[in-house]
Amino acid sequence: MTHANSDFTLDANAAAGVLQEIFLVDVTTARIECATCGASAAVGSLRVYALPMGAVLRCTHCDGILMRAVHTPHGRWLDMAGARWLRFVEPTDGAAAD
C-alpha cells in the first residue's frame, strides 16, 4: 500500500497527547504485538498518521494498523483490533526483551 501524502507520517511519540487522554501511564513505553505479522515493539516506535481528530498507529514491519485513537464530541475511542496484546512494563521490570 502506498501512502500518497507522507507529510502526515510521524513517529508514535507525536500521538502521546491523544493517547495520554486514554491512558494514565506513558503508553509509548508499553510493548505491543502486531496481529498481522507477529512483530512486537514499543508503542513509541510505531508510525503514526495524524489526523485532526486523532491518530492511526501502524506497524513498522508490515504497515498493519495496530491502534486508532480518536476524540469526538461523543467521547474518546480506542480501536486495538490490529494488536494481539499491549503490555505495560513496570519500572522494576527494566527493558526486558520479548
Give the domain range for residue 29.
9-88
The reply to whether 2 falls in a domain is: no
The reply to whether 16 falls in a domain is: yes
The reply to whether 3 falls in a domain is: no
pLDDT at 35: 97
The reply to whether 56 falls in a domain is: yes
Residue found under cell 506513558: 26
CA distance 82 to 43: 13
Number of structural domains found in the chain: 1
The reply to whether 96 falls in a domain is: no
Q: List strands edge to edge, sheet with 54-58.
A: 9-11, 47-51, 54-58, 65-72, 75-79
Averaged in consecutive runs of 10 residues, what is the pLDDT profile of the chain (98 residues)?
62 80 80 97 94 91 96 92 90 56
pLDDT at 40: 97
The reply to whether 20 falls in a domain is: yes
The reply to whether 49 falls in a domain is: yes
